[in-house]
Amino acid sequence: MEITYIKKNNQTLLFQIILNDDENRIGIGQGGSEIELLENTFSFDLPVFVKEIHPDLIALTLLTIVLPWVKTKISFPVKISTNFAELIESNCGLKVIGVNKSLSSRSFGEKDAVSFSGGVDSVAVTQIIPDDSVKLMFLRKDHENIDNVQPNYSIVAQKQIIDEFENAYYVKSDIEHIVGPMPQYPTWTTLSTPCFLLADYFNLKSINYGSIVGSSDIKDGKKFKRRDYPDKMWASLFRGVGIYLSKPVAGITEIGTSTIVHKSGFDEIATSCQFGAMNEPCMRCFKCFRKYLMNIAVNNYDISEDIIDVFLRQKNIQEHILGKPPLYFQHIFMYALKYADLKHKHVVLSLFREKILLANDNIEWCERQYDDALDRFVPDSDLRDVVRQKMRVFLKNMDRDDVLIFENWDLNTDYNNDSIQKRLNEIDVILGYIFDTISSNERLQLDQKNEYIAELKNSASFQLGDLFFRSVQKPYKLLTYPYNFIKILLKK
């Protein structure tokens, strides 16, 4: 593969990709999904006047974009250092064509940057690293040769968020549009391209991400798996250009980042919905649903039955609720619904709460920090000391009991029980009936289903299941279990 400049000045960079004979437009993207290279040109608009960018930074920027499609060798529009060429070969198996043997590697700078999205997690990062950190945001722009098949989400909101922070800038790019079937980053590190391109201008030494526990040691909230060498390939390449790859919130959950943002007074600024605007999330996607319930628990927000009804009319949310546990980010729903004040006793939320807490309800660790993660995810010792000090203002560390629960977390095993599975099926029958009777154009009228729901809940199988799980959760009730068991059977 060859990458060339079409246009280059102090604020605009326009590149072209030329595939070799052994390469094609189909590659493997994030999560192992197949992606297609739709167009071979892409560009960046920089927010400041940049005189020079180290060639190795240019190379790393481009590598994060083209890696899914390059096969055996790669040529950049600039000659790079021997050291970085060797790192690319050892980490990616690619031979670099065009090396400047007299070029020194880039040295580490002095400032820290945040790969900034304006979401809760990246805003939380800004509060626990040095105050003079630079916030750099990737902002999507249209591509002149590609029809926009997906709205450029939250651009107005992102610009408004940038205005709320000091040392905050955005870089505009059309990279996402050249990737199919839908606009997306070719690799997760493509998000960092603004940081690479401005690393010399701001004298950067680290790029910090808002990756949380659900993206690190407990992937998707399902099972603990310690990552001793996180992001090994990318971390090596980052170091090769004098930058630490850092994830200071990798030891906390969304509960923790939300707590930091709330205590810092940025609730009204941070936004996590890619479809809404600043202070106006769409309130129809699954992420909004999760965040809404979480905020009720964490920040003591009042629950609105009208908002809940809107959520529950959304097909994607219904499908998630009816999914087979463990659900995506189930640990957050577990915490939210265990501690949220469900004043209206909403029947769907009550049933959903029972479903996700059925196998395990030891969830208090979600509001604390797993300190061990800092030693692995924040490689710069000076930065790590600052993060530890600032984190104490917002969160407590996990105690021994928390750590034991955390390091043995495995919802797959917890749900591998015939009695639990039977109970889940009963709950899903009720939820499925409710969702089937919800009209897409009228307010959820759960009171009309109360008679049917009461009939189901009054059945012997449902009550025996309820008796069993209440007895297991409180062992002293096992003493009266036989008596109550016979009582239910005789009553029926």
Structural domain boundaries, residue 167: 2-252+369-394
Mean pLDDT of 326-347: 87
Going by pLDDT thresholds of 50, 70 and 90, the confidence category of residue 176 is: very high
Mean pLDDT of 378-387: 98
Going by pLDDT thresholds of 50, 70 and 90, the confidence category of residue 451 is: low
Mean pLDDT of 267-276: 70
| pLDDT at residue 261, rounded to an integer | 92
Mean pLDDT of 253-267: 92
Q: Residue 171 forms beta bridges with which residues?
A: 138
How far apart are alpha carbons 103 and 335 in whole angstroms? 53
Q: In the Cβ-directed half-sphere of 273, how many Cα atoms lie within 13 Å?
A: 20
Clarify whether residues 152 and 299 are in a common domain: no
- C-alpha dihedral (451, 453, 455, 457), degrees to nearest 10: -140
Mean pLDDT of 184-202: 97
Clarify whether residues 183 and 119 are in a common domain: yes
* CA quadruple 453, 457, 462, 465: dihedral sign: positive
Clarify whether residues 318 and 229 are in a common domain: no
Mean pLDDT of 176-183: 92
Residue 226 lies in a domain: yes
Nearest to 40 by CA among 61, 24, 29: 24
Q: For the chain, what percentages of helix, strand and coil (3-state, to nearest 5) are there? A: 45, 15, 35
What is the count of structural domains for the chain?
2
Mean pLDDT of 377-393: 97
Clarify whether residues 164 and 84 are in a common domain: yes
| pLDDT at residue 440, rounded to an integer | 45
| pLDDT at residue 444, rounded to an integer | 46
Residue 341 lies in a domain: yes
Mean pLDDT of 74-99: 97
Q: In the Cβ-directed half-sphere of 413, how many Cα atoms lie within 13 Å?
A: 5
- C-alpha dihedral (75, 77, 82, 87), degrees to nearest 10: -60
| Percent of all residues in the chain with a pLDDT value above 90, rounded to a whole number | 70
pLDDT at 401 over 70: yes
Clarify whether residues 383 and 358 are in a common domain: no
Residue 479 lies in a domain: no
Going by pLDDT thresholds of 50, 70 and 90, the confidence category of residue 447 is: low
Clarify whether residues 136 and 218 are in a common domain: yes
Clarify whether residues 57 and 183 are in a common domain: yes
Mean pLDDT of 438-466: 60
| pLDDT at residue 441, rounded to an integer | 45
pLDDT at 44 over 70: yes
**Rounded CA Rg of the chain:** 26
Q: Token pair for residue 430?
A: 């009720």
Sheet containing 179-180: which strands, arranged edge to edge? 26-28, 34-37, 179-180
Query: In 3-state terms, what secondary structure has residue 330?
Result: helix
| pLDDT at residue 277, rounded to an integer | 60
| Percent of all residues in the chain with a pLDDT value above 70, rounded to a whole number | 86
Residue 229 lies in a domain: yes
Clarify whether residues 238 and 321 are in a common domain: no
Lowest mean pLDDT among 9-18, 155-164, 398-407: 155-164
How far apart are alpha carbons 283 and 141 in whole angstroms? 25
| pLDDT at residue 304, rounded to an integer | 84
pLDDT at 443 over 50: no
Lowest mean pLDDT among 34-43, 234-243, 318-327, 335-344: 335-344
Residue 441 lies in a domain: yes
Query: In 3-state terms, what secondary structure has residue 486?
Result: helix
Q: Do residues 130 and 386 touch, judged by C-beta distance below 8 A?
A: yes
Residue 470 lies in a domain: no
Clarify whether residues 382 and 360 are in a common domain: no
Q: Do residues 193 and 171 touch, judged by C-beta distance below 8 A?
A: yes
Residue 383 lies in a domain: yes
pLDDT at 293 over 80: yes
Residue bearing tokens 């006047």: 49
Mean pLDDT of the chain: 89
Clarify whether residues 149 and 243 are in a common domain: yes
Residue 184 lies in a domain: yes
| pLDDT at residue 364, rounded to an integer | 95
Number of C-beta neighbours around residue 301 at 10 A: 15
| pLDDT at residue 218, rounded to an integer | 95
Clarify whether residues 69 and 37 are in a common domain: yes
Clarify whether residues 156 and 59 are in a common domain: yes
